[in-house]
Chains A and B, each alone.
Chain A
Amino acid sequence: MSLAFDLALCAFILGAAALAVAGRNLFGSVVFYIVYGVLIALAWLSLGAVDVALAEAAIGAGVTGVLLIGAWQGMKEAGALEDSQAPPWPVRLWAALGAALTGGLVITAIIALPGQDGLTRTVADEQGALALGNPVTAVLLGFRAYDTLLETLVLSAALAAVWSLSPERVWGGIPGPKHVSRPDGVMASFGRLLPPLGLLVGVYLVWAGADQPGGAFQAGTVLAAVWILIVLSGLRDEPRVSSLPLRAVIIAGPAVFLGAGLAGALAGQALGYPPGYARTAILIIEYALTVSIAATLALLIAGPARRLS
C-alpha cells in the first residue's frame, strides 16, 4: 500500500512540475509551483526525512508562493508580462533532446551507483559527543558546521545584493508598498490572530530541534512567514533597510556562530566546540541563527527599497 502511495505521489509531482514548467498561463505556472512545493514536502515525509519535509513545507509551500506571486505582480506593474506563446518548435525540440539526454545520464548514474552503507551509523556513533538527539542538527551545527556558517553568510550576501538593487533616490528606504487593510476586516483579523500561533510554532520548532526534527532553518522560515503576514495585513510596516538595529539582528546569528568558533580557538581548537560544552554552544548558536534567518528571509522576500516613508 505504501508503494502504491509513493508511485501515485511521484506521478503527481511529475505532473505538477510539467504543468509549472510548460503550461501556457504564467499565473497558472506559479500556482502549480506552489502545489509542487506541497507535494515535494509530502515526498520527504514518505522518505522519512522529517527535517527536510519541515523545511520544504515552510519554504516551498509557504514563503516561495508569496515570493513568486510578488514577482508576478512586479512584472505586471512594469508591463513586462511576456505573452504566453509556446516557444518555436526547433527550440522545443532541442530543449527536449537536451533534457532527455540529461535525464538519461542521471538515470544511468543512479542504476550504476554501488550500494553503500552511507554515514548514518558514523553519525549515530559520534553524535553522543555533542549530546544532541537529532542527527540532522548534529550534522548541521556539529560535524559540518563550516558549511552552515558559510551558508548563513550566503544569506546575508544575498540580502545585500537585493538591497543594492534599490533606486538611488530611495536608497536605504523601506521595501515594498505600504500595505493597508480594513481595520476590522477579515485580513486584519487574520493578521492579528495567526502571529501568536505562528510565534509559538516557530519557538517550538527550534526548541524541539535539538532532539527531534526541527531546528533553526525551519523555525526561522516560520517566523519569517509571520513577519510577512503582519506586513501584508497592514498591521506594521517594514523597517527601513538602513536601520541599525535591523542590521544588528541580521548579523547576530553569523556573529554568534563565528564567536563560538573563536571561543573554540581559546580552548585549543579554532572553529571547534570546547569539549563538554558542545550542546550549550550549539543551542545558543541555534537560537541566534533562528532570529537572523527569520529577519533575512522576510526581507529577501520583501525585495529592494521602494520608498522613503
Chain B
Amino acid sequence: MADLFMLAALGVLISMAGALWRAWRGPGRADRMMSAQLIGAGGVGLAVLIAAAREEPAILDVALVLALLAAFAALAFVKTVTVQGAGDPESEEDPAP
C-alpha cells in the first residue's frame, strides 16, 4: 500500500513539471503566479500522500499549513496591479493614494 501512495506521489510530482514550464514561459505575470498556485496545490496533495504512505499523521500538519498559506503569494501578487499596491482589483475605482 505504501508503494502505491508513493507511486501516486510520483505521478503528481511529474504533473507539476508542466506548471514549471508555464512559470518559465509566462507570458504574463498572472500566468507565472498561477503556476506557483498549482505547485502549491500539488504540494498539499504530495504531503497528504507522503503522510499516508508513512502512516504518520504529524505530516498532515504540514499539508494543513501549506493549504492555509496557499493563497498568500497570489494575494500579494494581485495587490501589485492596484494603485500603490494597496487596493483591491475588484474595486472599480482604485482609491486615491
Residues of chain A whose beta carbon lies under 8 Å from any beta carbon of chain B: 1-2, 4-5, 8-9, 12, 15-16, 19, 23, 25, 27-28, 31-32, 34-35, 38-39, 41-42, 45-46, 48, 50, 53-54, 57-58, 61-63, 65-66, 69-70, 72-73, 76-77, 176-182, 185-188, 190, 194, 197-198, 201, 204-205, 208, 212-214, 218, 222, 225, 228-229, 232-234
Contacts and interface: CB of A to CB of B under 8 A. Distances in A.
B75 A53 contact: no
Contact of B69 (A28, A61, A70, A188): A61
A180 B16 contact: no
Contact of B68 (A2, A178, A179, A222): A222
A160 B6 CA distance: 46
Contacts of B56: 50
Contacts of B6: 1-2, 4-5
Interface residues on B, range: 35 or more
B69 A23 contact: no
For B10, B19, B23, the residue with the greatest tally of chain A CB atoms inside 10 Å of its CB is B23
B62 A1 contact: no
Given A27-B29, A31-B36, A1 B10 contact: yes
Contacts of B42: 38
Interface in B14-55: 14, 16-17, 19-20, 23-24, 26, 29, 32-33, 35-36, 39-40, 42-43, 46-47, 50, 53-54
Contact of B61 (A12, A179, A205): A205
Contact of B86 (A39, A177, A201, A229): A177
Contacts of A8: 10, 13-14
Interface of B: 3, 6-7, 9-10, 13-14, 16-17, 19-20, 23-24, 26, 29, 32-33, 35-36, 39-40, 42-43, 46-47, 50, 53-54, 56, 58-59, 61-62, 64-66, 68-69, 71-73, 75-80, 84-88, 90-91, 95, 97
A234 B69 CA distance: 18
19 contacts: A5-B6, A31-B36, A31-B73, A34-B36, A39-B43, A41-B43, A45-B59, A53-B59, A66-B75, A69-B77, A73-B79, A179-B79, A179-B87, A180-B87, A181-B88, A182-B88, A182-B91, A218-B65, A228-B72
B86 A178 contact: yes
B61 A50 contact: yes
A50 B59 contact: yes
A270 to B, nearest CB: 35
Nearest to B24: A19
B35 A31 contact: yes
Closest 6 CB pairs of A and B: A62-B69, A65-B73, A177-B86, A181-B88, A38-B43, A69-B76
A177 B84 contact: yes
